[in-house]
Amino acid sequence: MEFVKVKYYRHRTVYIDGDKSGYTNTLLRVNRGTHKFEMSEPPNYTPGFRKPFVKNTIPARPMIIEFQPKP
């Protein structure tokens, strides 16, 4: 089991591999491997998605996945 935190300045729903999986700025669990991270509509953030390989995490040190508002 691996741990990630999707960071964004607003509360948004997080989709991992197309499935609703939690919310921004909270600890989320995923299996080790490559996953596609997106947020809920509207698509006013950048990049449109991230697809990192998640490994070697613990709850105290999750992988941080950041999105920014579109300019």
Per-residue pLDDT of the chain (71 residues; tens, 9 = 90+): 999 999 999 999 999 999 999 999 999 999 999 999 999 999 999 999 999 999 999 999 999 999 999 98
Q: What is the pLDDT of residue 13?
A: 98
Quick check: is 63 in a domain?
no
The C-alpha atoms of residue 16 and residue 26 are separated, in whole angstroms, by: 14
Q: What is the pLDDT of residue 38?
A: 98
Is 35:10 a contact under the CB 8 Å cutoff? no
Helix (H) or strand (E) holding 34: strand 33-34
Quick check: is 32 in a domain?
yes
Domain limits at 28? 2-55
| Tokens 């948004």, located at residue | 12
Q: What is the pLDDT of residue 52?
A: 98
Whole-model pTM over 0.85 = yes
Quick check: is 38 in a domain?
yes
Quick check: is 61 in a domain?
no
Q: What is the pLDDT of residue 6?
A: 98
Quick check: is 13 in a domain?
yes
Q: Which tokens belong to 5?
A: 């935190």
